[in-house]
C-alpha cells in the first residue's frame, strides 16, 4: 500500500506504535472525495464476520463421580484374584474394612478364656472378630483392642484423588499474546491477534502425576490440560484445544494456525482504553486405585491481561 502513497496521514482512536504484525491489508478504493481539497478518503475494510480459531465447546470426558469407599484388593494378600473392585460397605457378614480386606463382625457369644484367638488377652480386653472374605470364602478370627474402623465412613476415592491433585500445584497458563500488553503496543481492528501459553511446564499444561493415601485407600492421579478458553473482552470466547503458537515477526499478517481472534471494534471505549483478555484453563484428571478408576474435571484456573486495539483510517492524495 505504501507504493500508492505520495502523501499520507494515519488517523486512529489514539496514538500507537506499529505492531510486529504490520498494517492491515486491504484494497484501496476511492469511495468518497473531499470536494474542497480533492483528497480521496481510503480506509481499511474489515471482514464482516471474521471467524476466530476455536475448538468445540467441550469434547473432553465427563466427571465420573466419587467412587466407592469400600473395595476388595487381592494384591494385599498376594492373590491373583478375583479382580479388585468396590464392595458393599455392609452386608450380612458385618462391615467392610479396607485395612483387613474383609467383613468384620464381633463374635457373640465371646470365645471362652484361653482360646488362642484371644492372643493371650482375657475376655473383655478388646474383642475377637470374625474376618470373612466372600471373594475367597476365607474366614479367620482376629483380635483387636478397639473396634476396627469401617471403611464406609472413610474418604471416597475421589476425595483421596483430590489430595493428590492438591500436591500438583496446578496453575493458570502464562499468557502470550500479540499485540503485546505493554505501553505503546496497540493492535488494529481487522488484524489477527495471536494467543498462546508461554513458558509451559507440568503445573500449567501437564501432564502432572501424584499419589495420595487416606482411609486405607491409595490413589494415583494424572492431570492434563484439555483446552484454554480465551475471553477476549469484546463478548467473544475462543476455545483453543492446543497451547497455541507463539508469534514471530516473520509470520507477518498471517492468522494464528490454532489460537487467534480478530477484533471488529477498537478498545477506545473500554476501561483504560483496553480489552481485558482472560485465559481460563480446563483440566482433565484421571485417577486410579481402590480397584476403581475415575475422572475429575477442573475448571476456573485463570489469568488476565489487557491489550489495546485501535481503528485506523488512511488519507491518500
Return the closest-CA partner of residue 193 out of 34, 53, 33. 53
Position 8 pLDDT exceeds 90? no
pLDDT at position 58 is: 63
Torsion of CA 259, 262, 265, 268, to 10 degrees: 50
Question: What pLDDT was estimated at residue 184?
Answer: 85
pLDDT band at 132 (very low <50, low <70, confident <90, very high): very high
Return all residues near 48 (Cβ < 8 A) that are at least 6 apart.
Answer: none
Residue 142 pLDDT greater than 90, yes or no: yes
- Judged against a pLDDT cut of 70, whether residue 28 lies above it is answered with no
CA dihedral 117, 120, 122, 126 (to 10 degrees): -60
Higher-confidence position of 60 and 114: 114
pLDDT tens figures, 164-215: 999 999 999 999 999 999 888 999 999 999 999 999 999 999 999 999 999 8
For residue 120, is pLDDT > 50? Answer: yes
What is the distance of C-alpha 76 from the center of its chain? 34
Q: CA-to-CA distance for 85 and 220, rounded, in angstroms?
A: 16
Q: Is the pLDDT at 12 greater than 70, yes or no?
A: no
- Give percent of the chain with pLDDT exceeding 70: 79
With contact defined as beta carbons under 8 Å apart, do 222 and 286 qualify?
Answer: yes
More confidently predicted of 36 and 46: 36
Range in 47-61, 120-134, 143-157 the model is least confident about? 47-61
Pick from 204, 224, 98, 214: nearest CA to 164: 214
Q: Considering the chain, what is the average pLDDT of its residues? A: 84
Which CATH superfamily includes the segment(s) 46-65+155-312?
Immunoglobulins (2.60.40.10)
Q: What is the rounded CA–CA span in Å between residue 7 and residue 43?
A: 15
The burial of 188, by beta-carbon neighbours within 10 Å (0-12 exposed, 13-18 middle, 19 or more buried), is given as: buried
Cis amide linkage into residue 109, ω under 30° from 0? yes
Residues 6+ apart with CB under 8 A from 97: 103, 104, 131, 148, 149, 150, 151, 216
Flag whether pLDDT at 53 surpasses 50.
Answer: no
Residues 57-78 have pLDDT tens digits of 566 788 988 999 999 999 999 9
Domain assignments of the chain as residue spans, ordered by start: 46-65+155-312, 71-153
- Identify any residues that bridge with 286 across adjacent strands, giving them in sequence order: 222, 295
Amino acid at each position: 500500500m505504501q507504493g500508492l502513497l505520495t502523501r499520507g496521514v494515519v488517523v486512529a482512536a489514539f496514538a500507537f506504535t506499529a505492531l510486529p504484525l504490520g498494517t492491515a491489508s486491504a484494497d484501496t478504493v476511492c469511495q468518497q472525495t473531499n470536494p474542497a481539497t480533492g483528497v480521496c478518503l481510503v480506509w481499511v475494510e474489515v471482514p464482516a464476520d471474521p471467524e476466530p480459531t476455536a475448538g468445540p465447546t467441550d469434547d473432553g470426558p465427563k466427571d465420573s463421580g466419587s467412587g466407592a469407599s469400600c473395595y476388595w484388593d487381592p494384591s494385599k494378600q498376594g492373590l491373583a484374584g478375583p479382580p479388585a473392585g468396590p464392595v458393599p460397605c455392609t452386608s450380612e457378614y458385618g462391615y467392610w474394612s479396607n485395612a483387613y480386606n474383609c467383613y468384620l463382625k464381633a463374635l457373640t457369644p465371646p470365645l471362652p478364656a484361653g482360646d488362642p484367638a484371644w492372643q493371650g488377652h482375657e475376655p473383655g480386653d478388646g474383642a475377637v472378630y470374625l474376618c470373612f472374605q466372600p471373594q475367597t470364602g476365607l474366614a479367620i478370627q482376629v483380635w483387636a483392642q478397639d473396634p476396627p474402623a469401617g471403611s464406609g465412613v472413610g474418604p471416597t476415592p475421589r476425595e483421596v484423588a483430590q489430595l493428590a491433585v492438591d500436591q500438583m500445584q496446578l496453575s493458570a497458563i502464562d499468557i502470550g499474546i500479540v499485540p503485546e500488553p505493554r505501553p505503546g503496543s496497540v493492535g488494529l481492528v481487522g488484524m489477527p491477534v495471536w494467543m498462546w501459553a508461554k513458558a509451559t511446564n507440568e503445573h500449567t499444561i501437564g501432564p502432572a502425576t501424584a499419589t495420595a493415601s487416606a482411609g486405607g485407600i491409595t490413589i494415583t492421579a494424572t492431570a492434563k490440560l484439555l483446552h484454554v478458553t480465551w475471553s477476549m473482552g469484546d463478548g467473544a470466547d475462543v476455545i483453543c484445544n492446543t497451547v497455541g503458537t507463539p508469534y514471530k515477526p516473520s509470520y507477518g499478517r498471517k492468522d494464528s494456525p490454532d489460537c487467534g481472534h480478530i477484533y471488529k471494534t477498537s478498545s477506545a471505549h473500554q476501561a483504560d482504553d483496553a480489552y481485558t483478555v482472560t485465559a481460563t484453563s480446563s483440566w482433565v484428571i484421571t485417577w486410579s486405585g481402590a480397584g476403581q478408576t475415575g475422572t475429575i474435571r477442573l475448571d476456573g484456573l485463570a489469568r488476565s491481561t489487557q491489550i489495546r486495539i485501535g481503528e485506523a483510517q488512511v488519507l491518500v492524495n
